[in-house]
Amino acid sequence: MKKILLVYNPVSGHAEFKNRLDNVIENFQRRGIFLSVYRTQAGDNSAFVDCVKISKPAGVIAAGGDGTLHAVINWLKNFSIDLPVGVLGSGTSNDFATHLQLDDENFFDAVAAGHTRPVDLGLVNGTEFFINVASAGVFTSIALEVDSRLKNFLGKSAYYLRGLSELKNFHAVNFEISADGEKFSVEAFLFLVLNSPAVAGFKKISSVAQIDDEKLDLLALKKSSPAGLLGLTKKLFAGECVDNDENIFYLQAKTFEIKSSAELVGDIDGEAGDPLPLKIETVPRAINFFC
C-alpha cells in the first residue's frame, strides 16, 4: 500500500478542511493509499521533518491555501527532501491549485498513479522558495495586513474591502529592475513576479506565464490615471490577460534584481518576505507535482 503524508492547515479558508478530512481519507484509501497526517501549527513546525522520516511517504499533499503549499515546499527544499508534492486547495487564496484545474477525482487518481510533472520554483535572495508569486508595492501589503479572522470569515472579499479602504493612500514608486542583466526603470504601484498566470483570485492575468518554461514573468502596474486603472480592473474581472495592457510593464527573464528608494517589504506566496532589494531567480523544474 502506498503511503502519502497529508499536511493540513486547520485554519485555512473558513477552517472547513476538517469537515472534508474523512472524505479525503476515504478517497485515498479506496485507491490503495494510506494517509499519514500532519497538522500545521503557528510557530515551530520542525516536527514535519520527523513525520516524513517516520512515515517514509511516496509524496506530500498540502491541504490549505497558497501559504500552506509555500510552507510545505520550503520545508522540503530546506531539508533536501526529494518527494513529489500535491495540493488540495482549501484556503482563502488557492491560485496555484486553481491554475492546475484538477477536480478532486482527477487529483486522487493522479496521486494513486504517481503521475507527476516537473515544475519551476522561484527563489528569493537565495533563501526562500515560492511556487506562485513574489511581489511588492502599495497593494501587496493588503494580504499581509488583513486580519486572519476577517479573512476566514469573508474569504477573498476581505482583501477587496481592505483594498478599497486604502485607495486614498495609493501612490506609485520608482522601481529599478535588472532582468537577466538588462536594466529598466519604471514608476509603478506594484510589481508581481509570476510562476503561474493565476494570482489574486484571477485565473489568467498573463498570456505567456507557464510553470515549466524555466522562466519567470514580471508584471508591474504602472502609474496610471483613474480611467486607466478602471479599464485594467474591468479586464481582470472579465478574466482577460493583461500582460499587453498599456498600463502594465512586462518582462520575462530567468533572474530579476529589483530595487526601490521606497521602503517596501516583499510578499512571497501571500506571506511576508524580505524588504527590497530582492534578487529573484528561477529554479528550473525544481519539484515534481502530482497532476
pLDDT surpassing 90 at residue 136: yes
> Can you tell me the distance from the alpha carbon of 243 to that of 251, in angstroms, rounded to the nearest whole number?
9
The pLDDT mean for the chain works out to 86
**In the chain, which segments carry CATH 3.40.50.10330?**
2-114
98 and 92 Cβ atoms separated by less than 8 Å:
no
Supply the DSSP string of 37-90, one letter for each residue: EEE--SS--THHHHHHHHH--S-EEEEESHHHHHHHHHHHHHTT----EEEEE-
* CATH code matching the domain that covers 128-286, chosen among 3.30.460.80, 3.50.50.60, 3.40.50.920, 2.60.200.40: 2.60.200.40
282 secondary structure, DSSP code: E
Give 128 or 234, the one with higher predicted confidence: 128
Tell me the torsion sign for CA atoms 197, 61, 106, 201: negative
Instruction: Calculate helix-pair angle for 47-55, 66-78, nearest 10 degrees.
Output: 70
**Residue 91 pLDDT:** 58
- Tell me: the pLDDT tens digits for 257-288? 999 989 999 999 988 899 999 999 999 999 99
How many CA atoms lie within 13 Å of 122's alpha carbon, on the beta-carbon side? 32
Say how far residue 260 (Cα) sits from the centre of its chain: 23
**Residue 102 pLDDT:** 75
225 secondary structure, DSSP code: -
**In the chain, which segments carry CATH 2.60.200.40?**
128-286
Q: Which residues are catalytic?
A: 271
**Residue 149 pLDDT:** 45
Give 205 or 161, the one with higher predicted confidence: 205
> Can you tell me the distance from the alpha carbon of 81 to that of 35, in angstroms, rounded to the nearest whole number?
18
**Residue 155 pLDDT:** 42
pLDDT surpassing 50 at residue 151: no
Say how far residue 4 (Cα) sits from the centre of its chain: 22
168 and 67 Cβ atoms separated by less than 8 Å:
no
pLDDT surpassing 90 at residue 254: yes
Give 161 or 124, the one with higher predicted confidence: 124
- Tell me: the pLDDT tens digits for 5-54? 999 988 765 667 888 899 999 999 999 999 999 999 887 888 999 999 99
Mean pLDDT for 160-168 is 45
For domain 2-114, give the fold.
Rossmann fold (3.40.50)
Which cell is 62 given? 498540502
**Residue 139 pLDDT:** 62
pLDDT surpassing 50 at residue 159: no
pLDDT surpassing 70 at residue 163: no
